Amino acid sequence: MKTRHCKALCVAVAALFAQGAMADTTLHVYVGGANRPDLMRKMFDQFEQKTPGVKVVIESGGSTSELQRAYLSTVLSARDSSLDVMMIDIVNPAQYMHAQWIEPLDKYLGSDATTIMKSYMPAYAKASVVDGKITSLPAYADAQFMYYRKDLLAKYHLPEPKTWDQLASEAKTVLAGERDASLQGLSIQGAPIEGAVCTFLTPYWSQGKDLIDASGRLTLDKPAAEKGMNMWLNLVDQGVVKKNVAEVKTQDTTTDFRSGKALFAVSWGMVWSHFQEPDSAVKDKVGIMPIPAMAGGSTDTCAGGWQWAVSAYSTHKKEAVALVRWMATPEVSKFLAVKAAMMPANPGVFQDEAVLQSAPWFTSAKPVLESARARPVSDRYGEISDTVRTATSAMLGRAVTVPDGIDAMAARLRRVMR
């Protein structure tokens, strides 16, 4: 796929090499364990071939978003120059930029910046820019979806549920019919992990509410927040969601659904590929649909994704930017989409035949991605996330009542966002 983006990149890489800037450079690139370092390695190998004199070494640490944030915060606040490039969760650019941990890319991209940014879906281009500066480029796009067992809904002649109430009623029908003690109705993430921020936000957003306004002020609506949490607890009480929901992490949802132990599962886009693996019990039985709404509410989902950023402390910034540019091209995006259902941030890649063949549901995923909502964009995001996910988990585990949990969440958020 020859694009202007690639041509410009190739010229930039060639120019750097001609200046001798890339002789014997080793780039240390941070890629978290869940972000398929095996596939990233293949793309780094291609970059090494294109840019003689540059070696890429993968560094890892922390397998989940919040653990990675903790790891990178430690490394970067120590002004450690051992990392050149980092793959960061889309929730982090604002915080890292304000802390001056990442190098703005504008001056390196120069006159190519506009073309490059226009090649991404508007939401991803927007998420890459903080205070008018390009913080990072998209590695892949993501959102939460509802996975479901196509075969079981078909067996009981049930449609895709549009609301949580409908999902509860369908789940009860299937569970009663199947009489399989290992089958759960719905798996969601209630452990105090990054994903639990979305567990809180989706039913809250669905009631037309937002957590912060355009100027970054807290707008937590207590009745809506309580209603959203009560909706989840109601699903637990009806036997649709497991009682231990406060311990469930993303990987548990994947494992349960993949082994045929869940009828519905809320999860991110790339787990699709895990469900299609040859040893998956649900291969070819998986449907994917938007997240249901609260009764009378809108269908909302959490936007996700990962970005490539250059460390402000890197001593090889030009080479690091060249790698980031390569990793954010349609070529790499297509490879990741075909191999691992990592969704492209580049709209053109969605139309690619090979991509659609490997993940036919991408056609319906694109509008979902385009309307997905961002978690709060803030330089204090780490603390906001920590507050929301720990309170959500405590309420789901019934360690606190819903009113007390929301009050505590609001009080802490007010302190953080003051």
**Stretch touching ligand GLC by CB under 6 A, among 84-92, 99-107, 163-171, 234-242:** 84-92
* Mask for 215-254, x = binds ligand GLC (CB under 6 A): -----------------------------------x----
Q: Do 300 and 373 meet the contact criterion of CB atoms below 8 Å apart? A: yes
Q: Which of residues 51-70 bind ligand GLC (CB under 6 A)?
A: 64-65
User: Among the candidate windows 79-87, 103-111, 300-308, 324-332, which touches ligand GLC by CB under 6 A?
Assistant: 300-308
CB of 139 to ligand GLC, least distance (A): 10
The residue from 120, 268, 275, 335 that contacts ligand GLC (CB under 6 A) is: 268
Token pair of 18, please?
A: 């001609």
Q: Does 346 bind ligand GLC (CB under 6 A)?
A: no
**Smallest distance, Å, CB 65 to ligand GLC?**
4
Q: Does 145 bind ligand GLC (CB under 6 A)?
A: no
Q: Which is nearer to ligand GLC, 142 or 331 (CB)?
A: 142
CA 154/CA 339 separation, integer angstroms: 29
**Interaction of residue 304 with ligand GLC, rule CB under 6 A:** yes
Question: Is residue 365 within 8 Å of residue 343, measured between CB atoms?
Answer: yes
Does residue 194 interact with ligand GLC by CB under 6 A? Answer: yes
Of 175 and 391, nearer to ligand GLC (C-beta) is: 391
Q: Is 376 in the site for ligand GLC (CB under 6 A)?
A: no
The 8-class DSSP code of residue 389 comes to: H
User: What ranges make up the beta strands (E) of 11-90?
Assistant: 25-30, 54-59, 85-89
**Residue 89 interacts with ligand GLC (CB under 6 A)?**
yes
CA distances from 410 to 104, 202, 253 (A): 33, 17, 28
Helix (H) or strand (E) holding 130: strand 129-130
138, 305, 376, 382: residue in contact with ligand GLC (rule CB under 6 A)? 305
Candidate list 8, 9, 85, 90; residue touching ligand GLC; CB under 6 A = 90
Which residue's C-beta sits nearest to ligand GLC? Answer: 304
Residue 334 beta carbon to ligand GLC: minimum distance, rounded to whole angstroms:
18
Asked whether the beta carbons of 254 and 64 are under 8 A apart, the reply is: no
CB atoms within 10 A of CB 276: 16
Token pair, residue 13, equals 């890489």
137 three-state secondary structure: strand
Distance CA 352, CA 1 (A): 10
CB of 417 to ligand GLC, least distance (A): 20
* 239/185 Cα distance (integer angstroms): 8
Q: Which amino acid is at 362?
A: F
Among 195, 228, 297, 330, binds ligand GLC (CB under 6 A): 195
Which residue is it, tokens 């056609």?
Answer: 363
Residue pair 294/201 in contact by the 8 Å Cβ criterion: no
Shortest distance (Å) from residue 40 CB to ligand GLC: 14
CB of 64 to ligand GLC, least distance (A): 6
Indicate if the alpha-carbon torsion angle 165, 168, 174, 177 is positive or negative: negative
Nearest alpha-carbon partner for 128 in 306, 302, 7, 268: 306
The yes or no reply on residue 91 touching ligand GLC (CB under 6 A) is: yes
Residue 368 binds ligand GLC, judged by CB under 6 A: no
CB of 186 to ligand GLC, least distance (A): 18
Is 264 in contact with 187 (CB distance < 8 Å)?
A: yes
Does 139 help bind ligand GLC (rule: CB under 6 A)? Answer: no
Find the shortest distance in angstroms from Cβ 365 to ligand GLC.
13
Structure tokens at 408: 């505590």
For ligand GLC, the binding residues (CB under 6 A) are 64-65, 89-91, 142, 193-195, 250, 268, 304-306
